[in-house]
Amino acid sequence: MSLFSLSELEAAADLVHRVLPPTPQYAWPLLAHRIGAKVWVKHENHTPTGAFKIRGGLVYMDALKRRQPR
């Protein structure tokens, strides 16, 4: 049993992408060299809210608004 359907996931991603800019990602060449793989780090602290939690909050509030429009 899944927590959500693919269409629900896609709708949530669309909502988040409309409201928030992409989270910056930076290559870390020294770490990549050390472990022998490409390494990209997402800097959540560079987002407008400084945390990833805003995405879940947006999706939750959108669902709540659709269930109880008043």
Q: What is the pLDDT of residues 22-49, one digit of tens each?
A: 888 999 999 999 999 999 998 888 777 7
Average confidence (pLDDT) over 15-24: 88
If one counts every other C-beta atom within 10 angstroms of the C-beta of residue 69, the result is: 6
Distances (CA, A) of 13 to 10, 30, 36, 45, 61: 5, 32, 32, 20, 14
Q: What is the pLDDT of residue 38?
A: 95
Average confidence (pLDDT) over 61-67: 90
